[in-house]
C-alpha cells in the first residue's frame, strides 16, 4: 500500500478523529508515513488507527485536547522520544462558537482562539524546536471565514484569519532551518462539522450555488493538498496560503 511520497516520515495530526484530519492521516499512511493522530474522543481516533493498520500502514492515537498547552507539548515530545524525530505537523483541530456579535460573551469569544490559535501556536512552536536540526513541514488549517467576512461567526473568523498571518511569520523564522510553514484554506467540506448546513436538499443546493464548481468539497480533496505541502514536492513553498475551495474565494457573486 506504500507509495512512498512520505516514506518513513513521522507525522503528527491534530483533530484527526473525523473529517479532514482523519482523511489526511489515512492519506499520509498510504504514502509511507508513521502517523500519530490526536483528538478529544478516543473512539473515532481508534477507528482511524484501525483503518490505517488494517491496510498495512503505521498509526497510533493520543487522546488529547490541544487547548491544554502542557498536554499538547508533552505529546509532541513523546512522539520525538518514541520515533526519534518529527517531520510533519498538521494543526487541524478547531473549535468555534456561533451567534450574533452583540450577544457574544467574552468566554465565547475566547473559545474560538484556545484551540484554533493557541493550539496552532503551541504546536508550531514545539515542532520548530524538534525540526530545527533536520527541517520539516508544518501545515496549518484556516478557513474561508478567515479570508471573507462571515456573519454570526466573528470569533471563528478572527481566529482563522490569525492563523494565516501567524503562519507567514513562522515561515519567515523557520526558513533558514529548512522548516516550511504553509496554510490550507478550505470552504465548505463534507464533514461532521458541516452536517447541519448540508442536512437537507434545499440547504445543500443553496450552499452549492455559491461555489463555482457547483459542489462541496470532500475531506480527501483537502488531504491531497495537505499531502502535497507536507511532501518534498513542495520543497520551495513556504509562507503560502492555499485555497482548496472549488473557487469559492475567487468570486464576488455567482449566477444563481
Catalytic residues: 156
The residue with cell 490541544 is: 66
- What grid cell was written down for 217? 468539497
- How far apart CA 144 and CA 148 sit, in angstroms, is 6
Report whether 126 contacts 73 (CB < 8 A). yes
Sign of CA pseudo-dihedral 170, 220, 1, 29: positive
Amino acid at each position: 500500500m506504500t507509495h512512498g511520497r512520505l516514506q518513513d516520515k513521522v507525522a503528527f495530526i491534530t483533530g484527526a478523529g473525523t473529517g479532514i484530519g482523519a482523511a489526511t492521516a489515512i492519506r499520509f499512511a498510504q504514502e509511507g508515513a508513521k502517523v500519530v493522530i490526536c483528538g478529544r474522543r478516543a473512539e473515532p481516533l481508534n477507528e482511524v488507527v484501525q483503518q490505517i493498520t488494517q491496510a498495512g500502514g503505521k498509526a497510533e492515537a493520543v487522546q488529547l485536547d490541544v487547548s491544554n498547552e502542557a498536554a499538547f507539548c508533552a505529546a509532541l515530545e513523546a512522539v520525538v522520544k518514541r520515533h526519534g524525530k518529527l517531520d510533519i505537523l498538521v494543526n487541524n483541530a478547531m473549535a468555534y462558537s456561533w451567534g450574533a456579535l452583540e450577544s457574544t460573551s467574552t468566554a465565547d469569544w475566547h473559545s474560538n482562539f484556545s484551540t484554533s490559535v493557541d493550539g496552532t501556536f503551541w504546536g508550531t512552536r514545539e515542532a520548530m524546536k524538534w525540526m530545527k536540526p533536520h527541517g520539516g513541514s508544518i501545515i496549518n488549517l484556516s478557513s474561508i471565514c478567515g479570508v471573507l467576512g462571515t456573519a454570526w461567526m466573528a470569533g471563528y473568523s478572527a481566529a482563522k484569519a490569525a492563523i494565516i498571518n501567524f503562519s507567514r511569520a513562522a515561515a519567515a523564522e523557520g526558513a533558514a532551518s529548512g522548516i516550511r510553514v504553509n496554510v490550507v484554506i478550505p470552504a465548505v467540506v463534507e464533514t461532521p462539522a458541516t452536517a447541519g448546513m448540508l442536512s437537507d436538499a434545499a440547504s445543500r443546493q443553496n450552499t452549492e450555488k455559491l461555489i463555482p464548481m457547483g459542489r462541496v468539497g470532500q475531506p480527501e480533496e483537502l488531504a491531497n493538498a495537505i499531502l502535497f505541502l507536507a511532501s518534498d514536492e513542495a520543497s520551495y513553498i513556504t509562507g503560502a496560503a492555499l485555497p482548496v475551495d472549488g473557487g469559492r474565494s475567487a468570486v464576488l457573486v455567482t449566477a444563481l
